[in-house]
Amino acid sequence: MRAKAIINSMKYKTSVASETRKSINGAFSKMGKKKKLTISEVKEAYEEWQAAKNFFENVHDPELVDVAIFGAEAARRRYLYMLKLVRIYEEEDKLENIKKNFFEKNDTIALPLEDKINTNI
């Protein structure tokens, strides 16, 4: 029974590690391409974090405690990183909308008063 639990926990460790690597690589590639994260990706990261926390709370083998701790911390940091990316993308969208709206309303940009005075001299 204990051997089966160890095997299952090692399968979990391997799947979490490979999924985390894929997700981190995906997040970095998306960041480089300026492609936005989807809500489902952020939810998936949150669910992985919750699963890792649950694994940590239920692990009984002292040798797997470190695995559970590092897995939970890695999943937490990945989730927080994705939230940070979402906030950055939201700010960029707001800035783009402000620029777009400004330039649509104003075809020309007014020069500062000093420049107008200097050009008339």
Give the pLDDT confidence of 82-92 residue by residue, as tens digits.
999 888 888 88
Q: Is the pLDDT of residue 28 over 70?
A: no
Question: What is the C-alpha to C-alpha distance for residues 16 and 72, in angstroms, rounded to an integer?
Answer: 10
Query: Cα separation of 4 and 93, whole Å?
Result: 50
From the list 88, 89, 82, 93, the residue with the least C-alpha distance to 28 is 82
Domains contained in the chain, number:
1
Cβ atoms of residues 30 and 37 within 8 Å: yes
Within 10 A of 55 (CB to CB), how many other CB atoms are there?
A: 19
72 has pLDDT over 80: yes
Structure tokens at 34: 């300026």
pTM over 0.75: no
pLDDT, average across residues 5-33 = 57
Domain carrying residue 25: 2-120
User: Which position has the token pair 């089966």?
Assistant: 4
pLDDT tens digits, 94-117 = 888 787 777 666 555 554 555 445
